[in-house]
Amino acid sequence: MFNLNSKKLYKPRSLIFCKDNATQKERIIYNYLLYRLKLEKNVILKEKNEVEKIGYKYKGHYLKITFKELREHLKLTKKKDIIKMFDNLIQIDMNIQFLNESNLNIGRSNKTKFTAKLIGDIKEFNSEDGFFELTFSPIIIDLVINSKDYTTLFIEDLIKFKSKYSLIIYEILKSSYIPHFNNNQPLKMSLSDFKLLLNVENYNISNLKRRVLDVAKKDIQYLTDFLFEYKFFTGNVGKNYEYIELYFDAKNSYKRSSFILDKKVKNLTQNELIYLLKKELPQNLYIEQLNEEIKELQNALSLQTRKAEMAIDELDSNYQENFELPIEDFDNFDYEEINNELCF
C-alpha cells in the first residue's frame, strides 16, 4: 500500500486563492495530480527545452495516471465515478490571481489574473490496469514547477476532508500560517472575497456559519493537528458585516504552551529560539524572557560539557593506570644497559 505519510504537495498559493466550482472529491483528485506533476519536473523541463529548441511553442505536458493509484491513494473505488470526475474537471475554469509570482514567465505583461482550465484533454487507455493521460496547460505547469510562493500540504491530510468548504478553508489558512512566529495574527479578508473563493456569494451570514464555517471548524479540529476560529466585523458605515478574521493555530502549541501567550515566550525549543534570534523579533516578545531562555540553554550546554570533560578525565585516568609502569619498577631499571643498546 502506498504510504502517504511523507507525501507533500507544494501547491502554489495562486492555485489556492482562486475560484473554481470543483467538488470535494474533484479538488482532492486535482491536488493529487498537481503533486504528481511536480514529481515530473525534470521531464517537463527537458520536453519544454526540446520543443522550444526547434522553434515550436510548448503546449503542455501529458501526465499518466493509473486507475490503481487513484483507487489506492485517494480511496476511490468505482471506475465510472473516476471517469465522471475527470469529465467534470475538463469543464472547470480557474480564475487565477498571481499573488507573488514575479519570477514566472508565461507571456504576460503586467497581467495579474488569468483564466485557465484545470486540466486539458484526457485520453483513456484500457490496458491491464487501465490508465489516463491528461494534459496540463503551460500556465498551470509553470506555476507548479517554478513557483516560489507555495504552501506545503500533506496529501494524507487533504483526503480526510468530506466537505469542499473545509478543504478550501484549510488550504487558505495553511497558506497564511507561520508556526510560532506570526504572533498568532488572524487572516483578515473582505467577506465578499471570502465568499467568492468558496463559491457561496449568495449565502447570508446564518448560512455561511451553519453550512460552511462551523463545519470547517469541526472538521479541522478533528481531522488535523490544527484549530480554527473565526469572527465577523462590520465596516465603517452601517451594521452589516464586511470582514471576516480567520484564526488558525497548531493544537500542540496550546497544549504545551510553546506558542506566544499573554505576550510571553514559554518553553521554546532550541530551533525555535534560533529562528527568533535570526529573524526580526515580534514586538510583543520581551527581550529579558529570551535572555532567560538563552541562559537555560547555556546552562544545559555547560552541564553536558562538564559531563563530557569528566568522562574524558576518567578515560585518561584509565589509560595511565594501564600503560604507566609502577613507581617501584623505575628503581630496578638498568639505564646503562639501555644506553649501551642505543649506542652505534
pLDDT per 10-residue tile (average), the chain, 344 residues: 65 84 85 88 88 83 82 71 80 71 50 71 68 81 83 86 92 75 70 90 93 94 88 82 86 47 48 52 48 70 79 68 52 51 45
Residue 86: the pLDDT is 81
pLDDT at 128: 58
Q: What is the pLDDT of residue 320?
A: 58
Between 3.40.50.300, 1.10.10.10, 1.20.1090.10, 3.40.190.100, what CATH number should domain 8-159 receive? 1.10.10.10
Are 286 and 307 a contacting pair, CB within 8 Å? no
* Domains 8-159 and 160-264 in one fold: yes
Structure confidence at residue 167 (pLDDT): 93
3-class DSSP state of 84: helix
Kindly list the domain boundaries of the chain, sorted by start residue: 8-159, 160-264, 289-342
User: What pLDDT sits at residue 292?
Assistant: 62
Name the residue among 91, 88, 113, 83 with its Cα closest to residue 101: 113
CATH 1.10.10.10 fits 160-264, yes or no: yes
Give the position of cell 506566544: 260
Cell numbers for 268, please give them.
Answer: 521554546
Q: What is the pLDDT of residue 170?
A: 93
User: Nine-digit cell at 161?
Assistant: 476532508
For residue 256, the model assigns a pLDDT of 37
Give the span between the Cα atoms of 153 and 133, in whole angstroms. Answer: 25
Contact (Cβ atoms closer than 8 angstroms) between residue 266 and residue 244: no
Query: In this structure, what is the dihedral angle of CA atoms 89, 41, 123, 116, given to the nearest 10 degrees?
Result: 30
pTM of the model: 0.66
pLDDT of the residue at 52: 85
Q: Residue 254: what pLDDT? A: 42
Express each pLDDT in 34-70 by its tens digit. Answer: 888 888 889 888 888 888 888 888 777 888 888 887 7
CA distance 266 to 228: 22
